[in-house]
Structure 1
Protein backbone atom coordinates (compact mmCIF):
# COMPACT_ATOMS: atom_id res chain seq x y z
CA UNK A 1 0.00 0.00 0.00
CA UNK A 2 1.57 3.30 -1.03
CA UNK A 3 1.12 6.51 0.93
CA UNK A 4 -0.67 9.16 -1.08
CA UNK A 5 0.50 12.72 -0.85
CA UNK A 6 -2.19 15.25 0.12
CA UNK A 7 -0.73 17.75 -2.33
CA UNK A 8 -2.62 17.58 -5.59
CA UNK A 9 -3.65 19.91 -8.32
CA UNK A 10 -5.76 20.33 -11.38
CA UNK A 11 -3.96 22.70 -13.66
CA UNK A 12 -0.94 24.76 -12.81
CA UNK A 13 -1.40 25.45 -9.08
CA UNK A 14 -1.15 22.55 -6.62
CA UNK A 15 -3.64 22.26 -3.77
CA UNK A 16 -3.16 21.08 -0.20
CA UNK A 17 -5.43 20.49 2.80
CA UNK A 18 -4.26 22.51 5.81
CA UNK A 19 -5.27 21.28 9.27
CA UNK A 20 -5.72 23.34 12.41
CA UNK A 21 -5.25 22.18 16.02
CA UNK A 22 -8.85 20.90 16.17
CA UNK A 23 -8.40 18.70 13.10
CA UNK A 24 -10.53 20.88 10.82
CA UNK A 25 -9.29 21.21 7.25
CA UNK A 26 -9.26 23.92 4.60
CA UNK A 27 -8.47 23.19 0.95
CA UNK A 28 -5.97 25.76 -0.32
CA UNK A 29 -3.87 26.60 -3.35
CA UNK A 30 -0.12 26.39 -2.68
CA UNK A 31 1.14 29.84 -3.69
CA UNK A 32 4.72 29.89 -2.31
CA UNK A 33 7.02 27.53 -0.44
CA UNK A 34 9.51 29.25 1.87
CA UNK A 35 12.29 27.33 3.67
CA UNK A 36 13.10 28.73 7.16
CA UNK A 37 15.01 27.12 10.05
CA UNK A 38 14.95 23.68 8.45
CA UNK A 39 11.15 23.79 7.91
CA UNK A 40 9.20 24.45 4.74
CA UNK A 41 6.48 27.04 5.25
CA UNK A 42 3.70 27.35 2.71
CA UNK A 43 1.84 30.51 1.79
CA UNK A 44 -1.66 29.35 0.86
CA UNK A 45 -4.93 30.84 -0.42
CA UNK A 46 -8.29 29.11 0.11
CA UNK A 47 -9.82 27.39 -2.93
CA UNK A 48 -13.32 28.45 -1.85
CA UNK A 49 -14.17 32.10 -1.16
CA UNK A 50 -13.35 33.16 2.42
CA UNK A 51 -16.11 35.06 4.23
CA UNK A 52 -16.33 36.94 7.51
CA UNK A 53 -19.40 36.97 9.75
CA UNK A 54 -20.45 40.33 11.18
CA UNK A 55 -23.16 41.34 13.66
CA UNK A 56 -24.86 44.39 12.16
CA UNK A 57 -26.48 47.29 13.97
CA UNK A 58 -27.84 50.68 12.93
CA UNK A 59 -25.92 52.62 15.58
CA UNK A 60 -22.52 50.91 15.78
CA UNK A 61 -19.89 49.71 13.34
CA UNK A 62 -20.35 46.07 12.24
CA UNK A 63 -18.84 43.67 14.79
CA UNK A 64 -16.67 40.83 13.48
CA UNK A 65 -17.61 37.45 14.96
CA UNK A 66 -14.97 34.71 15.02
CA UNK A 67 -16.25 31.49 13.38
CA UNK A 68 -15.58 29.43 16.52
CA UNK A 69 -17.74 31.72 18.68
CA UNK A 70 -20.64 32.01 16.22
CA UNK A 71 -23.78 30.35 17.55
CA UNK A 72 -25.28 27.38 15.75
CA UNK A 73 -28.58 29.18 14.89
CA UNK A 74 -26.62 31.98 13.19
CA UNK A 75 -24.53 29.59 11.08
CA UNK A 76 -27.54 27.40 10.28
CA UNK A 77 -29.51 30.42 9.08
CA UNK A 78 -26.53 31.58 7.00
CA UNK A 79 -26.42 28.12 5.37
CA UNK A 80 -30.11 28.31 4.43
CA UNK A 81 -29.78 31.85 3.00
CA UNK A 82 -26.73 30.84 0.95
CA UNK A 83 -28.54 27.76 -0.42
CA UNK A 84 -31.14 30.13 -1.89
CA UNK A 85 -28.27 31.56 -3.98
CA UNK A 86 -26.95 28.09 -4.90
CA UNK A 87 -24.01 28.56 -2.54
CA UNK A 88 -22.94 26.57 0.50
CA UNK A 89 -21.24 27.58 3.75
CA UNK A 90 -18.16 25.53 4.59
CA UNK A 91 -17.08 25.46 8.23
CA UNK A 92 -13.39 24.82 7.88
CA UNK A 93 -10.06 25.50 9.54
CA UNK A 94 -8.98 29.16 9.79
CA UNK A 95 -12.10 30.75 8.28
CA UNK A 96 -15.59 30.21 7.01
CA UNK A 97 -15.72 29.80 3.24
CA UNK A 98 -18.45 29.78 0.62
CA UNK A 99 -18.48 27.16 -2.13
CA UNK A 100 -20.26 27.79 -5.41
CA UNK A 101 -20.25 30.20 -8.32
CA UNK A 102 -19.83 33.77 -7.11
CA UNK A 103 -19.87 36.84 -9.29
CA UNK A 104 -16.52 38.63 -9.23
CA UNK A 105 -16.85 42.08 -7.64
CA UNK A 106 -16.49 44.99 -10.04
CA UNK A 107 -13.91 47.37 -8.47
CA UNK A 108 -15.72 50.37 -9.94
CA UNK A 109 -18.99 49.38 -8.27
CA UNK A 110 -17.52 48.93 -4.79
CA UNK A 111 -18.57 51.53 -2.28
CA UNK A 112 -15.13 52.58 -1.05
CA UNK A 113 -15.11 56.14 0.22
CA UNK A 114 -11.64 57.64 -0.11
CA UNK A 115 -12.57 60.49 2.25
CA UNK A 116 -13.65 58.14 5.04
CA UNK A 117 -13.52 59.52 8.59
CA UNK A 118 -11.03 56.90 9.76
CA UNK A 119 -8.38 57.61 7.09
CA UNK A 120 -6.92 54.23 8.03
CA UNK A 121 -4.87 52.80 5.17
CA UNK A 122 -4.75 49.42 6.94
CA UNK A 123 -8.54 49.10 7.12
CA UNK A 124 -9.77 46.02 5.35
CA UNK A 125 -12.44 46.37 2.71
CA UNK A 126 -15.36 43.97 2.48
CA UNK A 127 -18.21 43.32 0.09
CA UNK A 128 -21.57 42.19 1.49
CA UNK A 129 -22.52 38.75 0.18
CA UNK A 130 -25.76 38.16 2.14
CA UNK A 131 -27.47 39.53 5.23
CA UNK A 132 -30.06 37.78 7.39
CA UNK A 133 -31.92 37.97 10.72
CA UNK A 134 -31.62 35.60 13.68
CA UNK A 135 -33.75 36.37 16.76
CA UNK A 136 -34.29 39.96 15.55
CA UNK A 137 -30.52 40.54 15.24
CA UNK A 138 -29.10 41.27 11.78
CA UNK A 139 -25.97 39.48 10.57
CA UNK A 140 -24.00 39.65 7.35
CA UNK A 141 -21.51 37.47 5.53
CA UNK A 142 -18.87 39.63 3.88
CA UNK A 143 -16.14 38.76 1.39
CA UNK A 144 -12.75 40.34 2.24
CA UNK A 145 -11.48 42.13 -0.86
CA UNK A 146 -7.86 42.03 0.30
CA UNK A 147 -6.06 38.73 -0.46
CA UNK A 148 -6.60 36.13 2.26
CA UNK A 149 -3.42 34.17 2.99
CA UNK A 150 -2.89 31.18 5.27
CA UNK A 151 0.55 30.12 6.56
CA UNK A 152 1.22 26.43 7.13
CA UNK A 153 4.25 24.33 8.01
CA UNK A 154 4.78 21.43 5.62
CA UNK A 155 5.61 18.11 7.32
CA UNK A 156 5.89 14.93 5.23
CA UNK A 157 3.61 16.39 2.56
CA UNK A 158 0.98 17.50 5.11
CA UNK A 159 0.19 21.14 5.89
CA UNK A 160 -0.23 22.14 9.56
CA UNK A 161 -1.67 25.59 10.28
CA UNK A 162 0.84 27.99 11.85
CA UNK A 163 -0.68 29.95 14.73
CA UNK A 164 0.18 31.81 17.91
CA UNK A 165 3.82 32.28 18.90
CA UNK A 166 5.19 30.41 15.90
CA UNK A 167 3.19 32.64 13.53
CA UNK A 168 4.36 35.80 15.33
CA UNK A 169 7.96 34.59 15.09
CA UNK A 170 8.01 33.64 11.41
CA UNK A 171 5.59 36.14 9.84
CA UNK A 172 8.13 38.98 9.50
CA UNK A 173 10.71 36.58 8.07
CA UNK A 174 8.24 35.22 5.50
CA UNK A 175 7.30 38.78 4.49
CA UNK A 176 11.00 39.68 4.11
CA UNK A 177 11.62 36.58 1.97
CA UNK A 178 8.62 37.40 -0.25
CA UNK A 179 9.79 41.00 -0.69
CA UNK A 180 13.25 39.76 -1.66
CA UNK A 181 11.75 37.33 -4.20
CA UNK A 182 9.66 40.14 -5.70
CA UNK A 183 12.68 42.45 -6.00
CA UNK A 184 14.56 39.72 -7.93
CA UNK A 185 11.76 39.35 -10.52
Structure 2
Protein backbone atom coordinates (compact mmCIF):
# COMPACT_ATOMS: atom_id res chain seq x y z
CA UNK A 1 0.00 0.00 0.00
CA UNK A 2 2.54 2.59 -1.05
CA UNK A 3 1.45 6.20 -0.94
CA UNK A 4 4.53 7.48 -2.72
CA UNK A 5 2.64 7.45 -6.04
CA UNK A 6 0.16 10.02 -4.74
CA UNK A 7 -0.21 13.08 -6.91
CA UNK A 8 2.65 15.49 -6.23
CA UNK A 9 0.12 18.34 -6.30
CA UNK A 10 -1.55 17.24 -3.04
CA UNK A 11 -0.33 19.45 -0.17
CA UNK A 12 1.06 17.87 2.99
CA UNK A 13 0.58 19.10 6.54
CA UNK A 14 2.21 18.12 9.82
CA UNK A 15 -0.42 17.18 12.41
CA UNK A 16 0.42 17.37 16.12
CA UNK A 17 -1.38 15.49 18.89
CA UNK A 18 -1.80 16.50 22.54
CA UNK A 19 1.44 14.65 23.48
CA UNK A 20 3.49 16.64 20.94
CA UNK A 21 3.95 13.71 18.52
CA UNK A 22 3.43 14.49 14.87
CA UNK A 23 2.37 12.80 11.65
CA UNK A 24 2.88 14.00 8.08
CA UNK A 25 -0.41 13.83 6.18
CA UNK A 26 -1.88 14.62 2.79
CA UNK A 27 -4.58 17.31 2.88
CA UNK A 28 -7.69 15.72 1.34
CA UNK A 29 -10.41 18.27 2.19
CA UNK A 30 -10.92 21.47 4.18
CA UNK A 31 -14.27 21.61 5.96
CA UNK A 32 -15.47 24.93 7.44
CA UNK A 33 -17.63 24.25 10.50
CA UNK A 34 -18.85 26.48 13.32
CA UNK A 35 -16.38 29.25 12.47
CA UNK A 36 -13.38 26.91 12.37
CA UNK A 37 -11.59 25.16 9.53
CA UNK A 38 -11.07 21.44 9.85
CA UNK A 39 -8.81 19.36 7.63
CA UNK A 40 -9.59 15.84 6.49
CA UNK A 41 -6.21 14.16 6.20
CA UNK A 42 -4.62 10.84 5.25
CA UNK A 43 -1.14 9.75 6.45
CA UNK A 44 1.73 10.00 3.95
CA UNK A 45 3.22 6.78 5.35
CA UNK A 46 1.18 3.58 5.58
CA UNK A 47 -0.82 3.29 8.83
CA UNK A 48 -0.57 -0.06 10.63
CA UNK A 49 -2.30 -1.63 13.61
CA UNK A 50 -0.64 -3.95 16.12
CA UNK A 51 -2.48 -7.14 17.03
CA UNK A 52 -1.64 -9.97 19.39
CA UNK A 53 -2.12 -13.32 17.66
CA UNK A 54 -3.57 -15.97 19.94
CA UNK A 55 -4.04 -19.61 18.85
CA UNK A 56 -7.54 -20.38 17.56
CA UNK A 57 -8.82 -16.89 18.43
CA UNK A 58 -9.34 -13.73 16.43
CA UNK A 59 -6.31 -11.43 16.58
CA UNK A 60 -6.63 -8.96 19.46
CA UNK A 61 -6.07 -5.27 18.66
CA UNK A 62 -3.57 -3.55 20.96
CA UNK A 63 -5.09 -0.07 21.16
CA UNK A 64 -2.56 1.75 23.31
CA UNK A 65 1.14 1.07 23.34
CA UNK A 66 4.07 3.04 24.70
CA UNK A 67 6.49 4.33 22.06
CA UNK A 68 9.43 2.60 23.76
CA UNK A 69 7.61 -0.73 24.14
CA UNK A 70 9.98 -3.70 23.45
CA UNK A 71 7.36 -5.21 21.09
CA UNK A 72 7.83 -2.22 18.76
CA UNK A 73 11.62 -2.64 18.81
CA UNK A 74 11.22 -6.24 17.61
CA UNK A 75 8.68 -5.12 14.96
CA UNK A 76 11.18 -2.52 13.75
CA UNK A 77 13.92 -5.16 13.31
CA UNK A 78 11.54 -7.43 11.37
CA UNK A 79 10.45 -4.53 9.13
CA UNK A 80 14.08 -3.55 8.45
CA UNK A 81 14.56 -6.98 6.86
CA UNK A 82 12.01 -5.75 4.25
CA UNK A 83 13.63 -2.29 3.89
CA UNK A 84 10.79 -0.77 5.88
CA UNK A 85 10.80 1.37 9.01
CA UNK A 86 8.28 1.58 11.85
CA UNK A 87 7.40 5.18 12.72
CA UNK A 88 5.98 5.92 16.15
CA UNK A 89 3.95 8.91 15.04
CA UNK A 90 0.93 10.75 16.37
CA UNK A 91 -2.41 8.99 16.18
CA UNK A 92 -1.17 5.68 14.75
CA UNK A 93 1.89 3.62 14.03
CA UNK A 94 3.00 3.98 10.43
CA UNK A 95 5.44 2.17 8.17
CA UNK A 96 7.69 4.10 5.81
CA UNK A 97 9.40 2.60 2.81
CA UNK A 98 8.39 0.96 -0.45
CA UNK A 99 5.64 -1.55 0.22
CA UNK A 100 4.98 -4.10 -2.50
CA UNK A 101 1.56 -3.61 -4.06
CA UNK A 102 -0.16 -6.99 -3.76
CA UNK A 103 -2.22 -8.32 -6.62
CA UNK A 104 -5.93 -7.98 -5.70
CA UNK A 105 -6.43 -11.75 -5.84
CA UNK A 106 -3.46 -12.26 -3.49
CA UNK A 107 -4.80 -10.10 -0.68
CA UNK A 108 -5.77 -12.27 2.24
CA UNK A 109 -8.35 -10.12 3.94
CA UNK A 110 -9.19 -10.74 7.55
CA UNK A 111 -12.15 -9.31 9.40
CA UNK A 112 -10.53 -9.12 12.78
CA UNK A 113 -12.53 -6.85 14.99
CA UNK A 114 -16.16 -6.35 15.78
CA UNK A 115 -16.36 -3.18 13.71
CA UNK A 116 -15.68 -5.56 10.78
CA UNK A 117 -12.84 -3.51 9.46
CA UNK A 118 -10.67 -5.42 7.03
CA UNK A 119 -6.91 -5.72 7.42
CA UNK A 120 -4.02 -7.24 5.53
CA UNK A 121 -1.16 -8.85 7.44
CA UNK A 122 2.12 -7.05 6.75
CA UNK A 123 4.47 -8.97 9.10
CA UNK A 124 4.19 -11.19 12.12
CA UNK A 125 6.79 -11.85 14.80
CA UNK A 126 7.33 -13.32 18.26
CA UNK A 127 8.25 -11.53 21.47
CA UNK A 128 8.99 -13.94 24.29
CA UNK A 129 6.16 -16.50 24.09
CA UNK A 130 3.62 -14.22 22.36
CA UNK A 131 3.00 -13.75 18.65
CA UNK A 132 2.13 -10.34 17.19
CA UNK A 133 1.24 -9.00 13.78
CA UNK A 134 1.32 -5.61 12.11
CA UNK A 135 -1.72 -5.23 9.88
CA UNK A 136 -2.55 -2.61 7.26
CA UNK A 137 -6.16 -1.39 7.40
CA UNK A 138 -7.68 -1.78 3.93
CA UNK A 139 -10.35 0.82 4.67
CA UNK A 140 -9.28 4.46 4.19
CA UNK A 141 -7.60 5.91 7.28
CA UNK A 142 -8.78 9.50 7.78
CA UNK A 143 -7.62 11.95 10.42
CA UNK A 144 -9.34 15.20 11.37
CA UNK A 145 -7.20 18.20 12.24
CA UNK A 146 -8.12 21.75 13.20
CA UNK A 147 -6.38 24.49 11.23
CA UNK A 148 -5.33 27.35 13.49
CA UNK A 149 -2.46 29.83 13.40
CA UNK A 150 -0.78 28.04 10.50
CA UNK A 151 -0.67 24.73 12.38
CA UNK A 152 -2.80 21.61 12.33
CA UNK A 153 -3.81 20.19 15.69
CA UNK A 154 -5.28 16.71 15.94
CA UNK A 155 -8.96 16.73 16.85
CA UNK A 156 -9.45 13.99 19.43
CA UNK A 157 -11.71 12.90 22.26
CA UNK A 158 -14.74 15.02 23.12
CA UNK A 159 -13.92 17.69 20.54
CA UNK A 160 -13.96 15.05 17.78
CA UNK A 161 -17.25 13.61 19.08
CA UNK A 162 -18.83 17.11 18.93
CA UNK A 163 -17.82 17.86 15.31
CA UNK A 164 -17.88 14.39 13.71
CA UNK A 165 -21.51 14.51 12.56
CA UNK A 166 -21.12 18.08 11.24
CA UNK A 167 -18.09 17.09 9.17
CA UNK A 168 -19.84 13.96 7.87
CA UNK A 169 -22.90 16.05 6.91
CA UNK A 170 -20.71 18.59 5.09
CA UNK A 171 -18.89 15.86 3.17
CA UNK A 172 -22.17 14.14 2.34
CA UNK A 173 -23.42 17.47 0.98
CA UNK A 174 -20.36 17.54 -1.29
CA UNK A 175 -21.08 13.95 -2.36
CA UNK A 176 -17.83 12.66 -0.83
CA UNK A 177 -18.96 10.19 1.80
CA UNK A 178 -19.82 6.53 1.37
Calculate the TM-score normalised by the size of structure 2.
Answer: 0.88
Shift of 1:182: 1.3
Is 2:53–2:133's contact at 8 Å kept on the other side of the alignment?
yes
* Residue 126 of structure 1, CA deviation: 0.4
Instruction: Give the deviation of 1:90 after TM superposition.
Output: 0.1
- Candidates 34, 58, 62, aligned match of 1:61: 58
Q: 1:92 to 1:112 in 2, by over 3 A?
A: closer
Matched with 1:170 is 163
Q: Report the equivalent of 2:88.
A: 91
Counterpart-to-counterpart distance in 2, 1:170 and 1:106: 38
2:143 maps to 1:153: no
CA-to-aligned-CA distance 1:124-181 (integer Å, 9 cap, x gap): 1100000000011000000000000000000112000001111011111111111111
Greater shift in the superposed pair: 69-78 or 45-54 = 69-78
What is the rounded CA distance, in whole Å, between the counterparts of 1:56 and 1:79 in structure 2?
A: 18
Shift of 1:32: 0.2
Q: Larger C-alpha radius of gyration, 1 or 2?
A: 1
Residue 27 to residue 67, structure 1, CA distance change in 2 (3 Å) = farther
Q: Indicate conservation of the 8 Å contact 1:19/1:93, yes or no.
A: yes
Measured in 2, the distance between the counterparts of 1:123 and 1:70 equals 27
The aligned residue for residue 44 of structure 1 is 41
Structure 2 alignment gaps of length 5 or more: 1-6
For residue 48 of structure 2, give the secondary structure of its aligned residue in structure 1.
strand
- The corresponding residue for 1:24 is 21
Unaligned 5+ segments in structure 1 are 1-9
**In 2, Cα distance between the equivalents of 1:37 and 1:111?**
42
How far residue 11 of structure 1 moved from its aligned partner, in angstroms, is 2.3
Contact 1:53-1:67 within 8 A present in 2 as well = no
Equivalent position SS for 2:134: strand
How many residues get paired? 169
Q: Give the whole-Å Cα distance in 2 for the aligned partners of 1:72 and 1:112.
A: 27
Aligned to 1:124: 117
Give the CA RMSD over aligned residues.
2.0
